Structure 1
Amino acid sequence: MEKYKSKRLSSLGSAIFSDMAQWKEEVRRRGVDVIDLGIGSPDRPPSERVIKAMEQAVRQPHVYGYPTSEGSPAFRAAVAKWYQHRFSVTLDPANEIVTLMGSQDGLAHLAMAITDPGDVVMVPDPGYPIYGASLVLAGVTPYFVPLREENGYLPNLADIPEQTAREAKFILLNYPSNPLSTVASKSFFEQLIAYANKYDLLVVHDLAYSEMAFDGCRPMSILEVAGAKDVAVEFHSMSKSFNMAGCRLAFMVGQPEVVKALRVLKSNIDYGVFLAVQEAGIAALEEDMEQGQSVAALYQRRRDVVIDGLAAAGWIIPKPKATMFIWACIPHGWTSRQISREILYETGVVVIPGDAFGEEGEGYIRIALVQEEERLREAVSRIAGFLRSHGKSTSA
């Protein structure tokens, strides 16, 4: 064991992501034009209105004092107004909203605020890596809920052992899903809330991709279900929907006691989000309510470029209804890591192996739609050549 490295730190993060970063650097050193479809970071800036709001705010002397850890009253009021507009959900800005430095900030700290070491928490497999990492930080025991293609990537709640359900403090889910790009129905959320009530269980829902849905799909908030605010909280982020990933601004809403607990923890860790960033967030939410111009159309076009292009090459992947990702079942004869590595070394295209998100991700890769259409067409062309050269023309 390294002298200045805790066992906790050694358990954080996926070795696959470290390997991918190393492979990518090796390929770049060879002079290869790398097309990075790995990390889901938006490649466009926020709107001019948002930029202008931040520009004006940074010139105001009062924004340079310490902000409050729960978020400015103005930003929380804007969040409440947006939730009412978008989901017809009424929120109390004073008690049911906490502002965060990105949803990862809140997701990383929530277990510390509401659980004790040795408690049990249910998280999805495959799932966003911070879900499991947050439990390591809190000393909590994870129960990984398998999400499989045959069940539409929804958890089969009946398969969870009853003892686990009774012991668990919360269940964390994410729809529309990263990495699975699937959407949950109202009937599923109703079943989930009923399940939570039965087992005295908190539901934590990550709704970061609600505004990235296609073909007329409109993902719902779990708080639209009657009684959900009694047993559920929901995370939302300004990063993906409003191209504000670098601004680090998000919020958690819902069950007041849970909101209060996270606020208390955060007040002991930091002083909140820079007020100029919160002003930009207000502008983004107001613009969305006034104009309703979602980023969804952009990502739908990109989705079609990749899905249709790979289909022409013989790799048939169902079109996802939401998110900035494609979750693709890989051709026979490969593991997720093998094909990701070979695609990168032979074509310069970065994709993420599915097992980076959990054991259930083996057999898949995740493709992030974070390049302009011309670059995506080039990536598809390179991958098609890779498939032809290896005699892999159809998916599993």
Structure 2
Amino acid sequence: MVFQSKRMGQVPPYLFADINKKKAAMIQSGIDVIDLGIGDPDLPPPSHIVEKLAEELQDPKNLKYPSFIGCAEFRQAVADFYKRHYDVELDPETEVLALIGSKEGIAHIVPTLIDPGDYVLIPDPSYPVYRMATLLANGRYYEMPLLKENNFEPDFSQIPADIIEHSKLMFLNYPGNPTAATVELEFFEQAVAFSKEHQIPIAHDSAYHMVTFGDYKAPSILQVDGAKDSVVEFGSLSKTYSMTGFRIGYVVGNKAIIKALADLKGNTDTGQFTPIQKAAAFALNSDQSCITKYNQVYAERMAVALEGLASIGINVDPPKGSFFIWAPVPENYTSTEFVTKVLEKAGVILSSGNAFGPSGEGYFRMSLSVPSDRLFEAIKRIKQNLQVVNQ
């Protein structure tokens, strides 16, 4: 007997669930595994945010059912953040919605906006949830190739007219996962113009918008004039403040889309725990020096990793954002072959590029979510086993 819908038969296990199983088995066998696969920061949440959470836990009023749209304090904090950081005005009542992490909102916006058979335009390679949410909604997806020669930006002119006609949503993601690509505001202007011309709303995944290096400052798509006519932007506190386990995020922008998403969420969840929302509001409103400090740590790790990769013949341009390195695999190996060899011979977990989409073939993703000494050790192991890998 098969207790599974046809819909679920199309959906593979989540990418990192399989990786975690392999990791657990290797650790159990006594192998010192260095996990550079998943983007879960090892840096702790800043102490002032944890202390605020503990404080809010003491108030009995915060222990009741939360508001499914988000407490007023959190929504106002998001609006204030956008005004300070981007000079974008948001109405916290109608243009901000709290999420149980941005992943949840990204998954829910697909059935909010598409009907069975509709297309979703998805970057390739990209965060796997875009595809899986589309399949779960009985939709279809069209993969927009992200190529190095085009700065890992989709070429909207290459999307077939019949696909455009049946598309009801487009995902974008910058700074990008897995590519670590960044864009300037001009790209978002092109995207918004395309969106309006073809009446296809855009969901911009901005999870890594505050993880940037040097003088680069990631723009918000909402900085484009008129963007709120057809665009929403997802944000998360997971990467910015190392609050992955808190599961708190938000979506901002077009009020009609946000209302529809709120209606779906109101019928499927009961919102995030109020003390977490209030701690998140405090994070957005309080001292932001922790962001600069953490980004400096990632920059130092980036330098170690890039130098190490170059020493084994893998050269990568330094990314301006995210804490990932998107690198080409050595010649004569597929993505899967390379990361499998590195795992088996060096005990180092990397993410295979093709796991993020067909255009990811020929690449691997390395996360900077371990200390520099572990990165150094990982590169050392790969270097020591490279001759084996390349045989």
TM-score, normalised on structure 2?
0.96
Alpha-carbon shift at residue 62 of structure 1 (Å)? 0.5
| 8 Å CA contact 2:327, 2:363 repeated in 1 | yes
Alpha-carbon shift at residue 333 of structure 1 (Å)? 1.2
Give 1:345's aligned residue. Answer: 344
1:95 aligns with 2:130: no
Give the AA of the match of 2:46.
S
SS of corresponding position for 1:322:
coil
Distance 1:287 1:100, change over 3 A: same
CA–CA separation in structure 2 for the residues paired with 1:8 and 1:333: 36
Distance 1:74 1:19, change over 3 A: closer
CA–CA separation in structure 1 for the residues paired with 2:229 and 2:18: 42
CA–CA separation in structure 1 for the residues paired with 2:323 and 2:204: 18
| 8 Å CA contact 1:182, 1:322 repeated in 2 | yes
| 8 Å CA contact 1:58, 1:276 repeated in 2 | yes
| 8 Å CA contact 2:314, 2:327 repeated in 1 | no
Give the AA of the match of 2:346.
T
| 8 Å CA contact 1:13, 1:129 repeated in 2 | no
| 8 Å CA contact 1:82, 1:289 repeated in 2 | no
CA–CA separation in structure 2 for the residues paired with 1:15 and 1:270: 21
Per-residue CA shift, 1:319-360, capped at 9, x if unaligned? Answer: 111101111110111111111111011111100101110111
SS of corresponding position for 2:233:
strand
Give 2:261's aligned residue. Answer: 262
RMSD between superposed Cα atoms in Å: 1.6
Give 1:115's aligned residue. Answer: 114
Give 1:40's aligned residue. Answer: 39
| 8 Å CA contact 1:207, 1:234 repeated in 2 | yes
Give 2:49's aligned residue. Answer: 50
CA–CA separation in structure 2 for the residues paired with 1:109 and 1:156: 26
Alpha-carbon shift at residue 294 of structure 1 (Å)? 5.5
Alpha-carbon shift at residue 18 of structure 1 (Å)? 5.3
| Structure 2 unmatched runs, 5+ | none
Give the AA of the match of 2:31.
V
CA–CA separation in structure 2 for the residues paired with 1:17 and 1:274: 26
Give the AA of the match of 1:351.
L
| Structure 1 unmatched runs, 5+ | none
Per-residue CA shift, 1:86-106, capped at 9, x if unaligned? Answer: 111110000001000000000
Distance 1:330 1:290, change over 3 A: closer
Alpha-carbon shift at residue 167 of structure 1 (Å)? 2.1
Give 1:147's aligned residue. Answer: 146
TM-score, normalised on structure 1?
0.95
CA–CA separation in structure 2 for the residues paired with 1:390 and 1:96: 51
Give 1:225's aligned residue. Answer: 224
Q: How many residues are matched?
A: 391
Give 1:185's aligned residue. Answer: 184
| 8 Å CA contact 1:57, 1:276 repeated in 2 | yes
Give the AA of the match of 2:89.
T
| 8 Å CA contact 1:27, 1:345 repeated in 2 | no
Counterparts in 2 of 1:127-206, with a 5 A limit? 127-206=126-205
SS of corresponding position for 2:286:
helix
Give 1:280's aligned residue. Answer: 279
